[in-house]
Structure 1
């Protein structure tokens, strides 16, 4: 089934052009402001260069995500989706919810359309919330932080814990109740739950190690590399574990 259409690439090009234009505008504004406060040309150049370099490695998971979703959704849709707001793990999860256990060769137009709606239209709720509600929400948070910081910490910690619990249960549940994956040629394979759980544990260990290094040695720069290193380490470990189990 054809997944890449000219109109989809045109829409993606328009979106990318808008993002590049916005980035250029803010870059120009930032340079002007830096000159106003007296920063030297060398410092401005160093800041721009370092920012560009440090943005490359965190983009590795995005490229990986496009590669993961391409067999199912084509090139254009993952490219559009991962160009703007969102997170790789959520987009892959949304795609899996839309396509189910279907193999890449079994994708139908209905599945692609469902994945596109889930991964694009649904995310509009975030920007709409920011436009109409965020200012009041921010003021309420500031008041709560001034009057009852402990309660605010409890609320935010609970929200983060719930989010992590949901993601962890999704991964662990998928590992325990192994998924049957059809290859589209009559052959059905069963996903190995041990590989999933061990990969999860290894990726968590890598992230914890990065956190320890950042705290122990004051490696602030490692923040930009922690997620890519974790993902690459998890992929390598999953490949190695798949050979063992």
Structure 2
């Protein structure tokens, strides 16, 4: 088992604000890293994502995107009002009826396995399956890049707090995802979070669109630069053998 923590003694990037249980992404945030720094070469799109987050602005931003060297979208999760869209390949996607943009904390797991994508909530008590309608597993480009909070450098930015973002590229019991949640992120989808929204939920940003350039910070050569050692919680990419 290998775990990559996003912690470093270096300064936190402008636009990213640490707090006691994670980090807050503002409109000016930009975090990008070579995919090879996070996942081993030859990794497929079969993954389990364990997430704990709170959206602060209603928009249609990507939580993250994996792009090939040729800038083709290989993997991504997008939050649009009332839906979660999961992309596996540029032209393959599924969606789930689920509203992240309500100012509450959300704990969930997204399991991508073969032709099926499953959204788990309520610590696995609720699950919804969707079919990708393709047979071949896609191998992620080892020369690609990982962007957190965006689909591209100039697309709309995810704005909100992230307590946990874990990627497990090996088989895990997705319906038991709450076992992998950090203690401070365990709100169990009660919608009575122990950590209230840190800023009021903001309305849809009329100026934010894929064609609207955003302020770009220098690219990071690894997500270990995201938080400081003083931060109580660290976001991790967990690689399990």
Where on the TM-score scale, by shorter chain, does this alignment land: which range?
under 0.3
Normalised TM-score (structure 2): 0.23
As a proportion of its length, which structure holds more helix? 1
As a proportion of its length, which structure holds more strand? 2
Q: Quick one: higher RCO (CA 8 Å, sep 6+), 1 or 2? A: 2
Q: Considering only CA atoms, is the larger Rg found in Structure 1 or Structure 2? A: 1
Normalised TM-score (structure 1): 0.22
